[in-house]
Amino acid sequence: MKRICTLILAAGLVFGAATGASAIDFKAKGQWLVGFSAGSDSLISKTRTGNNGKVKADTNDQFAAQQRVRLQLDAVASEALSGTVFFEMGDQTWGNNASGGALGADGRVVEVKNAYIDWAIPQTDAKVRMGIQGLAMPSVAGGSAVMDTDVAAVVTSYKFNENVSLTALWARPFNDNFDGNDARYNGNTRDQNYLDNMDLFALTLPVKLDGFGITPWVMYGMMGKNTTTSSDGTQYNNHSVRDGNPGFTLFPYPVGASINSDGDTVGYGGTSKAYGSMFWAGLPMTLTMFDPLNVELDINYGYVESMGRYSVQKGQSNETVRGSMGRQGWLAKALVEYKMDWATPGLFGWYASGDDNSVKNGSERMPSIVPCGNFTSFMGDGNMGWLRQDYGIDYAGTWGIGAQLKDMSFLEDLKHTFRIAYWGGTNSTSMVKYMANAYSWNDAATTQATIPYLTTNDGLVEFNLVNSYKIYQNLEMNLELDYLVNCMDNSTWKKAQNPSSFSKQDMFQAKVVFAYSF
């Protein structure tokens, strides 16, 4: 009898659990990317440093094959409650052991990209999203120049009516990463996690009218003095490219970066401040009332308070120059396009403030957390940009103008986009004497992409062609051809510390990406 009762009870629990689980609707979607690329990834072909003579850049490994899988699972209880987890497998480079692409293919490459819950506040129109999520500051005309990435945050939105809504958020990009092993604390690890958090608070006000939209927004941040300090205290940033690498986009110099062939680094003098303030504001606007004409304009301003002083060595004299860690600047970018039956022609451009001729007063380039510019494919547009780290370009210190023919179609399921753009610099030519070379501050291995530090004497010309063919409803093949003409000024960069000279070269890339989405 006891066995029968036990079986009945177990069956009841099973069916009860099944009944409860049936109230949750599970949905899955995802994307597979497999890509192949070939070409050069450096604007410098040879360098000459002291007695070492000319050193040729490595050009033996210009082909790469990669893949990535993203899987999103949604657990939907109702319109008012759901949960989402977003897994990513990759990026895997074929043959590379660290990424799990070598023989055996058993590397640990699965990561949680997003994990959050969505819920509506009862009896209101307010919605809340809590957890690790994709977060981008409002932007039009070429992507967000301030932040577009995954971050732990709480985002609350309220819709007043069909035209006006309000969004408030708190995000914590960094916390509990400082191990305390810093010379400033005599290597005492009891200071572990001390003043190492960064917190961001933002308000956005989207307004959508008939043929016109505007989204004013502001963001305030506070950053502890140890937020971006590495374990040895010499390199001011211990976060990866995917973390945003704020040492390269928040401060005038990437503190800890090598500035000459002797391995000397930019020094950081410390600060008595516990926290420093950060501030950004934006005003993206769209005008569609004259359809098929579309006009987009975006204006941004950013400021990061100085946290102590830095020191660099000037030219070959080894003179030490000290300056402020502060950084502030602005950016304006615009897009005008006209949709036609066979294509959408358009013009785009931007202008960002650049550094003046003094290192003592900080930087006049606009700071950012994770910039994601995408006017051109070279800057990380869509699936093709994934082969270049899936991040866009920081516009700071540059200006540019370009033209495009987007979504040209002459055959069914086949589209083409052609772009041509010119890049210029807004930074003073006097700044190069504090640098090792054109990549001292914007090294491709440590920042979002491969745009070098451009002065007012430098330029780049980009040609880009993207072809997209829909093989099946859910399978698309993309073929992209890029060519970048190097117009950097040799005479200007001869004033750099080391190498004393370099030979520039053009860049080119050819990429094929297969994208299966469901």
- 419: number of Cβ within 10 Å: 22
- For residue 154, the model assigns a pLDDT of 98
Cα 204 to Cα 388: distance, rounded to the nearest angstrom: 31
> Where exactly are the structural domains of the chain?
40-517
Amino acid at 396: A
Domain 40-517, CATH number (from 2.40.37.10, 3.40.640.10, 2.40.160.100, 1.10.3720.10): 2.40.160.100
pLDDT of residue 15: 43
Q: Which residues contact 292 (CB under 8 A, 6 or more apart)?
A: 338, 339, 340
Each residue's pLDDT tens digit, 81-121: 999 999 998 788 899 888 888 888 877 788 899 999 999 99
Distance CA 71, CA 27 (A): 11
Strand 267-268 to 275-287 pairing: unpaired
Q: How many CB atoms lie within 10 A of CB 103?
A: 7
Residues 225, 269 contacting (CB under 8 angstroms): no
* Spatial CA neighbour of 439 closest among 387, 515, 504: 504
In the chain (518 residues long), the average pLDDT of successive 10-residue segments reads 45 44 84 90 65 55 87 95 93 85 81 95 95 95 90 96 96 82 55 83 97 97 79 39 54 54 53 87 96 96 85 58 82 96 95 90 89 69 45 81 94 94 92 65 38 86 93 95 89 69 80 94
Cβ–Cβ < 8 Å for 358, 241: no
Distance CA 375, CA 334 (A): 10
Gap between the Cα atoms of 48 and 428, Å rounded: 24
What is residue 49's predicted lDDT score, i.e. its pLDDT? 54
d(CA 339, CA 320): 56
CB-based burial, 259-296: b 16+ in 10 Å, e otherwise: bbeeeebbbbeebeeebbebebbbebbbbeeeeeebbb
Cα angle 508, 510, 511; round to 5 = 140
Q: What one-character-per-residue DSSP string does 260-324 give?
A: STT--B-EE---S-SEEEEEEEEEEEEE-TTTTEEEEEEEEEEEE---SEEEEEEGGGTEEEEEE
pTM here?
0.85
Distance (Å) of CA 480 to CA 37, 67, 359, 382, 513: 9, 17, 40, 11, 9
Residue at 474: amino acid letter? N
Are 237 and 196 within 8 A, CB to CB? no
What per-residue confidence (pLDDT) applies to 314? 57
For 460, half-sphere exposure in the C-beta direction (CA atoms, 13 angstrom radius) is 28
The span from the CA of 286 to the CA of 298, in Å, is 9
The 3-state secondary structure of 199-213 reads EEEEEECCEEECCEE
Q: How far is CA 149 from the centre of its chain?
A: 6
CA–CA dist 115, 477 (Å, integer)? 30
Measured CA to CA, the distance from residue 46 to residue 97 in angstroms comes to 30
* Spatial distance between the Cα atoms of 498 and 439, rounded to a whole number of angstroms: 11
Q: Residue type for 488, please?
A: M
